[in-house]
Structure 1
Amino acid sequence: MFSRSSLALGLLATSSLVVAGPCDIFATGNTPCVAAHSTTRALYSAFTGSLYQVQRADGNKTDIKPLSPGGVANAAAQDTFCSGSRCLISIIYDQSPRGNHLTVAPPGGFKGPGARGFDNLASATAAPIYLNGAKAYGVKVTKGIGYRNNVGKGVARGDAAEGMYAVLDGTHYNGGCCFDYGNAETNNLDTGNGHMEAIYFGNSREWGSGAGKGPWIMADLENGLFSGANQKNNPGNPTISHRFTTAILKGGPNKWALKGANAVSGPLATLYNGARPRAQGYNPMKKEGAIILGIGGDNSNNAQGTFYEGVMSIGYPSDSAEDQVQADVVAAKYSTGAQ
């Protein structure tokens, strides 16, 4: 049962003022964020720091902050800085106190198309959207683009419990490996079953699938994309392709869950909730604590997708906390046009 204070923390006031951001909600549930990444908005109600950094073709860089504490990103500042030039997203800052910033992914089992085998950076202007009527930009990943942090501070390792969510473009995906956000290897290589725990979104069928043609929200646990207890197909995991999609993954000792929702309206749906996969190597888990976005654990970079916001927590979040986070996302009013 929630206390009056925790209930108040989860409530949303007006469209312009959020009493509690996603990371405030998780902290109240004793599963604090250890990573909070977004180019669209602040994920703590009082956050005023830098959300991301953009780099112009001439090499000059600037940081983009929210318009107000806990608010939407200052897209006008980016537009002014990038006017007449190509701009890339060079850093996605971690809003949590851990400082787990995301920068361009280095080469691993797969090499990127950039200098010295690094991946490419995403265009700063390729994914314009609106939150509560204010313009913002997402991170549009195409083949060869990827971000990583191999020294994640406070991120779950081994069989420790963690949670994560992401808001994604449910219509931008492919079957390539692997459009992920979450926990991965620290050496950019495939180090075996159970060494990853990351949200996957796409319609790859090689390592796992759900019902219909996809796309699916699945868990990349390394050497397997899991949509449920089975290593391959789990028909109870539906095709999900909302324009704005909420994806949730959490895992602990011999338990894990997947959830999904329309990020614009409605509650979360549980896609799987149960024991670890039956296949060998996934119980106990052997998570390593790096953080990836847009790539697989070995830097597989053939996927595409668009990321707007996401966090990683330490500890196994409660269903109630996740419900409040979904309500917070809905209240952000993601849309494709000004309202």
Structure 2
Amino acid sequence: MSDNRTIRGRGALRRLARAGAALAVLVGALAGATATSGVAQAATQGPCDVYAAGGTPCVAAHSTTRALYAGYGGRLYQVRRSSDQAVRDIGVLGTGGYADAAAQDSFCAGTSCVITVIYDQSGKGNHLTQAPGGGAAPGPDNLADATLAPTTLNGHRAYGVYVAKGTGYRNNHTTGIATGDQPEGMYAILDGTHYNGGCCFDYGNAETSSTDTGNGHMEAIYFGNIKVWGYGSGPGPWVMADLENGLFSGANTRYNANDPTVNHRYLTAMVKGAPNQWAIRAGDAQSGGLSTFYSGPRPNAAGYNPMHKEGAIILGIGGDNSNGAEGTFYEGVMTSGYPSEATENAVQANIVAAGYANSSATTGALRGTGSGKCLDVPNASATPGLQAQIYSCSGGANQTWTRTGDGRLTVDVGGTTLCLDAAGGATADGTKVVTWPCTGGANQQWRFNADGSVTGVQSGRCLDVAGAATADATPVQLWTCWGGGNQKWTLG
């Protein structure tokens, strides 16, 4: 999708011929739902095994959290640390298993890291790297902080790809990705609570030139609550399709009442397309099945039937490198051919069995998602009453916070344990957030919310970076919650 664009509004579908084949796919996926214990944690099937069994194999498979094939034991992603610019590939704990998050933690200890490559597990070499400049933004885009999206899968720690504004990944020279009007499918696992109204948080098929080349030159999953080109019911966010020069929630109208607001903490989002047919499906990645929000003909505006897909792959940006969106990506694939609903349902069963859940971390850096910087005790001083601030993450003790069972946030500086405290027990906007000896008071208790905000139990107000600034030493305060990135935090 592009910024500054106007709204514009053959063949039989490829389907599985026999119900027995669909049943085999589903049974196989369910059989593969249970991973073995021990170091390897090898699944008997991954989502790409399910797609292959359904006759629509993966041609791109990206994940920073787990292997997407039972037989995959290679690299998931690469990180680069800021201290010396060294890089390290992060793989799986064992064939078919989860990401080796401990390898990242060790490599990045005492410094910060960014994700430089998200490797393609399909064997086709469709890796995602830093997006170059394009028609909407000169670029190159930023790379994601490697620690801002901690998660767990069946209790195993991993990291997703946290896309802040200006962040994007791309591959303009792919192999096997659908072009023209060829059929394809795709899914992505996203954080349904992390989104905005910017253009455009996409994953899927886009232009190879990084520019807007016209209607129907894209086919990608979009997630967010922008309403410029199309929208669904409720306030958003919505899963829609970015087909270029239009975010479509349905057929030919801007509004599809059957495309609901969805904000599951872990969200399965699917888009697929074939000659004069496409569909949107989605569901909770932690439980249950999929719902179909649209399935029908292509838009009747010029350029969308037949399609003119070009076969590049994007993540976090629009086709012309529009990079004003936010979101979090954990895994996703693209297929050759139009997957059946039975296949997709089996994939969803596999995803649910992967056991996505919030990170169980209780000690670590408290990072501001809007700034990428850490909550910091100035000068590592144990003097009571110092206003907390954000500062470039160093891994120091003065940036290491512990979330206690009774809701306190404690920090050890100079051998002294202090609590994060709303100064004087005040509750008004602008109240300083300071470090103070622990008293057990309600002004020292903090609630971590599903949307990433941290609120004071006493005040109900958000832990806020003053003025939404991002510079080192910007003070932290209480402020009425409004959903901004300067009020979103991750601990880990």
**Class of the TM-score when normalised by the shorter of the 2 chains:** over 0.9
Q: Which has the higher contact order (CA 8 A, sep 6+)?
A: 1
Indicate yes or no: 2:154 matched with 1:132: yes
Distance 1:309 1:124 in 2: 15
C-alpha deviation, 1:176, in angstroms: 0.3
Indicate yes or no: 2:259 matched with 1:237: yes
Indicate yes or no: 2:227 matched with 1:208: no
Distance 1:316 1:217 in 2: 19
Aligned to 2:34: 14
What secondary structure, in the 3-state scheme, does the structure 2 residue paired with 1:25 have? helix
**Structure 1 residues 5 and 327: CA distance shift in structure 2, 3 A:** closer
Matching residue's letter, 1:304: E
CA contact (8 A) 2:35 2:44 kept: no
CA contact (8 A) 1:15 1:132 kept: no
Indicate yes or no: 2:105 matched with 1:79: yes
Percent same amino acid at aligned positions? Answer: 63
C-alpha deviation, 1:336, in angstroms: 0.4
Indicate yes or no: 2:135 matched with 1:105: no
Indicate yes or no: 2:201 matched with 1:182: no
Aligned to 2:465: none
Instruction: State the Cα deviation string for residues 274-310 of structure 1 (Å, max 9, x = none).
Output: 1011222211100000000000000000000000000
Indicate yes or no: 2:176 matched with 1:154: yes
Instruction: State the Cα deviation string for residues 37-63 of structure 1 (Å, max 9, x = none).
Output: 000110001100000000011110000
C-alpha deviation, 1:5, in angstroms: 5.5
Aligned to 1:119: 141
C-alpha deviation, 1:18, in angstroms: 2.3
CA contact (8 A) 1:197 1:220 kept: yes
User: TM-score, normalization: structure 2?
Assistant: 0.67
Indicate yes or no: 2:58 matched with 1:47: no
CA contact (8 A) 2:59 2:177 kept: yes
Matching residue's letter, 1:47: Y
For residues 53-64 of structure 1, what are the structure 2 equivalents within 5 Å? 53-57=78-82, 58-64=84-90
Indicate yes or no: 2:307 matched with 1:285: yes
Matching residue's letter, 2:324: N
Indicate yes or no: 2:119 matched with 1:93: yes
Aligned to 2:354: 332
Matching residue's letter, 2:203: Y
**Structure 1 residues 203 and 169: CA distance shift in structure 2, 3 A:** same
Matching residue's letter, 1:39: T
Matching residue's letter, 1:97: G
Indicate yes or no: 2:266 matched with 1:248: no
Matching residue's letter, 1:119: D
Instruction: State the Cα deviation string for residues 89-146 of structure 1 (Å, max 9, x = none).
Output: 000000001110000000011225xxxx300000000100000000000000011000
Distance 1:268 1:191 in 2: 33
Aligned to 1:302: 324
Instruction: State the Cα deviation string for residues 205-239 of structure 1 (Å, max 9, x = none).
Output: 00110001000000000000000012411111100
CA contact (8 A) 1:231 1:278 kept: no
CA contact (8 A) 2:193 2:264 kept: yes
Instruction: State the Cα deviation string for residues 54-91 of structure 1 (Å, max 9, x = none).
Output: 00111100000011111110000000000001100000
What secondary structure, in the 3-state scheme, does the structure 1 residue paired with 2:232 have? coil
Aligned to 2:461: none
C-alpha deviation, 1:7, in angstroms: 4.9
CA contact (8 A) 2:240 2:247 kept: yes
Indicate yes or no: 2:60 matched with 1:35: yes
Distance 2:134 2:315 in 1: 14
Structure 2 gaps of 5+ residues are: 1-18, 37-41, 362-492
Give the number of aligned pairs: 335
What secondary structure, in the 3-state scheme, does the structure 2 residue paired with 1:51 have? strand
**Structure 1 residues 232 and 8: CA distance shift in structure 2, 3 A:** closer
Structure 1 gaps of 5+ residues are: none
Distance 1:13 1:156 in 2: 29
What secondary structure, in the 3-state scheme, does the structure 2 residue paired with 1:2 have? helix
Matching residue's letter, 2:273: G
C-alpha deviation, 1:152, in angstroms: 1.4
Distance 1:85 1:190 in 2: 38
C-alpha deviation, 1:9, in angstroms: 2.5
Distance 2:61 2:196 in 1: 25
CA contact (8 A) 1:253 1:284 kept: yes
CA contact (8 A) 1:134 1:338 kept: no
Distance 1:260 1:214 in 2: 14
User: TM-score, normalization: structure 1?
Assistant: 0.96
**Root-mean-square deviation over aligned CA pairs:** 1.3
CA contact (8 A) 2:278 2:296 kept: yes
Indicate yes or no: 2:51 matched with 1:26: yes
CA contact (8 A) 1:231 1:279 kept: no
Distance 1:191 1:228 in 2: 22
Matching residue's letter, 1:66: V
Distance 1:338 1:85 in 2: 22
CA contact (8 A) 1:139 1:306 kept: yes
CA contact (8 A) 2:220 2:243 kept: yes
C-alpha deviation, 1:6, in angstroms: 4.1
CA contact (8 A) 2:62 2:76 kept: yes
Aligned to 1:2: 20
Aligned to 2:96: 70
What secondary structure, in the 3-state scheme, does the structure 1 residue paired with 2:294 have? strand
> Greater shift after overlay, 13-22 or 185-194?
13-22
